[in-house]
């Protein structure tokens, strides 16, 4: 079991599942749960087919050395994208992610178009498919780069079970989930993994092998803290 991969997959997929749940709940609230669940089911089938094509096809035909390089680059791009957003949110340059506000906005949009069950179903499909696509990318890239699909799949499955059970119990958006902090942690982890695996595939020698991932996590954490502090100071000076 690769614990780094399991934790990163769990945190990243939980965040995405929370966002997908908000959209499905909004559709369910306005148009009822039949179109919401139908859209969700179609999205899950589409994602499953995509995962099978990408997962099985890519793994069978692309050599592992090339695959690790490509995956490292994609993970690094994915990681810096998440980390950039987290830095902007924590420094106050971008508003914090608020599931209740997103739920209210979605409900408002759906109410304006109420009675159109096809559009509602399409909204649920889009929400689940796009958020799910990020989970697929995380599971496939981390699972194949660390050669530990089981860890990535278990991490994502725990995230899904947790979010689904909380969603069913509360029937409300999970606005108390510390999504902003989770996104920040995931951004740090993905950037660290991406740096490590992309570097390794190019022939970089990392000191102490896998322990370097912890060093990268600590390093990016320190760098991010410095950037956030610097941005906050600049904002304060400008005000």
Partner 1 sequence: MKWLKEVYSLFVDDPKLAVLALIALVVALVLVKLDQRSAAGLAIFLVVSGSLWYSTRHD
Q: Which residues bind partner 1 (CB under 8 A)?
A: 73-74, 76-78, 80-81, 83-85, 87-88, 91, 93-94, 130, 133-134, 137, 191, 195, 198-199, 202-207, 212, 216, 219-220, 223-224, 226-227, 230-231, 234
Query: With respect to partner 1, which residue has the nearer C-beta, 30 or 139?
Result: 139
**Measured between alpha carbons, how far is 142 from 9 in angstroms, rounded to an integer?**
8
For residue 180 the two structure tokens come to: 């902003």
Token pair 């934790």 is found at 7
Query: With respect to partner 1, which residue has the nearer C-beta, 63 or 207?
Result: 207
Closest separation between CB of residue 169 and partner 1, Å? 31
Closest separation between CB of residue 168 and partner 1, Å? 28
Closest separation between CB of residue 179 and partner 1, Å? 17
Closest separation between CB of residue 134 and partner 1, Å? 7
Query: With respect to partner 1, which residue has the nearer C-beta, 167 or 196?
Result: 196
Query: With respect to partner 1, which residue has the nearer C-beta, 69 or 167?
Result: 69
- Residue 146, phi then psi, degrees to nearest 5: -90, 0
């Amino acid at each position: 079991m690769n614990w780094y991969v399991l934790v990163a997959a769990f945190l990243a997929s939980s965040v995405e599942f929370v966002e997908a749940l908000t959209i499905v709940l909004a559709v369910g609230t306005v148009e009822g749960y039949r179109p919401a669940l139908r859209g969700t089911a179609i999205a899950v089938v589409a994602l499953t087919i995509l995962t099978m094509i990408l997962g099985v096809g890519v793994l069978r035909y692309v050599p592992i050395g090339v695959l690790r390089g490509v995956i490292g680059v994609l993970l690094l791009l994915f990681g810096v994208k998440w980390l950039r957003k987290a830095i902007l949110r924590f420094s106050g340059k971008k508003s914090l992610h608020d599931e209740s506000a997103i739920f209210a906005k979605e409900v408002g949009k759906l109410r304006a178009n109420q009675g159109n069950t096809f559009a509602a179903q399409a909204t649920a499909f889009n929400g689940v498919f796009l958020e799910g696509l990020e989970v697929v990318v995380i599971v496939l890239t981390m699972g194949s780069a660390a050669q530990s699909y089981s860890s990535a799949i278990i991490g994502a499955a725990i995230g899904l079970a947790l979010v689904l059970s909380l969603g069913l119990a509360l029937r409300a958006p999970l606005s108390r989930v510390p999504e902003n902090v989770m996104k920040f942690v995931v951004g740090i982890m993905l950037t660290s993994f991406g740096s490590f695996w992309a570097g390794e595939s190019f022939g970089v020698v990392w000191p102490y092998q896998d322990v370097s991932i912890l060093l990268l996590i600590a390093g990016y954490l320190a760098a991010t803290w410095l950037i956030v502090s610097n941005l906050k100071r600049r904002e304060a000076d400008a005000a």
